Amino acid sequence: MAKTIYYVASSLDGFIADADNGIDWLLRFGFENFQEHYDAFLARIGAIVMGSATYEFMLGDSASSPWPYAGMPTWVVSSREQPVIEGADLSFVSGPVAGFDPAVRESAGDRDVWIVGGGDLAAQYADAGLLDEMFVTVMPIVLGSGVRLLPVAAHTGVLTLESTTQFAPGAVGLAYSVTGRSQQAQKVAQKV
């Protein structure tokens, strides 16, 4: 069965974007140190889910470069109409994540689902008991404020550390499994 994974970079103080919703702080680290790990992760992915702010960020990028997830089903969670990016396999959804999660998983086939962002969307998956794993690359920088990593409504319980990966220049990848997923998902499914 496909796993749902939140794969993200965060500042040391738990922010995935700065107070202006920007990621220039992250881009200054370059991706050459992380590319091999990212490529291995992306090879596991069969479908992507992203929130509207992440999609709108990608829209800005699409003017200068092609859609990076060509051929991969991408689900955009948005309460408003969004423009379509040429060459992207997009589905636009809204409402509780438990309502569209079965279709997302089906579109992934025998591969995993990546929650690209943002933190609010990943928190909705966690709150619904539909998040299986988190891979957080903690960057060696403190932002002080911004978009929170995972603003859940209630505590998740204890996560199980599965592995760590050290990246240059001082970044650390932390892979966690989220326990209790099936019990939480059953309770949520009964409410939907």
186: helix, strand or coil: helix
In the chain, how many domains are there? Answer: 1
Quick: pLDDT tens for 17-39: 999 999 999 999 988 999 999 99
Q: Which of 165, 128, 135, 122 is nearest to 42 (CA)?
A: 135
pLDDT at 189 over 50: no
Domain that holds residue 46: 4-191
pTM passes above 0.85: yes
CATH of the domain at 170: 3.40.430.10
Q: Are 97 and 128 in contact (CB under 8 A)?
A: yes
